[in-house]
Amino acid sequence: MTFSLAINLAFRRWSDFAGRSTRAEFWFFALFQTICLLPLIVLDAVALSSLPFYPLSIIFCIVMLTPTLSISVRRLHDQNKKWWWLFMWLIPVIGWVAMIKINASPTTAY
């Protein structure tokens, strides 16, 4: 899977919480979000430093919320896990390590 195909799939399936997403699709989408968010954070810090928050970054995160949740749920389905495993992100360190390990694991058999 290529970078552009993964991003295209993630946005086309933004409301699809069923099915599966491959490891490449998930990580390419995470890379895409990072590449887009970093310049927005810098722009917010430099151009809008008088504000107590980062409006461009917040808007970007709100827009990306549903596609991120859907691709995360589909990635968990690919690992034969239920959607509620997303709550592991709320457990500091141990939950984060567990979720990174789950998302980095190869596709399980159907």
When pLDDT is cut at 50, 70 and 90, the band that residue 41 belongs to is very high
Q: What is the mean pLDDT of residues 75-81?
A: 92
When pLDDT is cut at 50, 70 and 90, the band that residue 109 belongs to is low
C-beta atoms surrounding 1 within 10 Å: 13
Say what the pTM is: 0.88
When pLDDT is cut at 50, 70 and 90, the band that residue 48 belongs to is confident
Model confidence at 110: pLDDT above 70: no
Mean pLDDT of the chain: 92
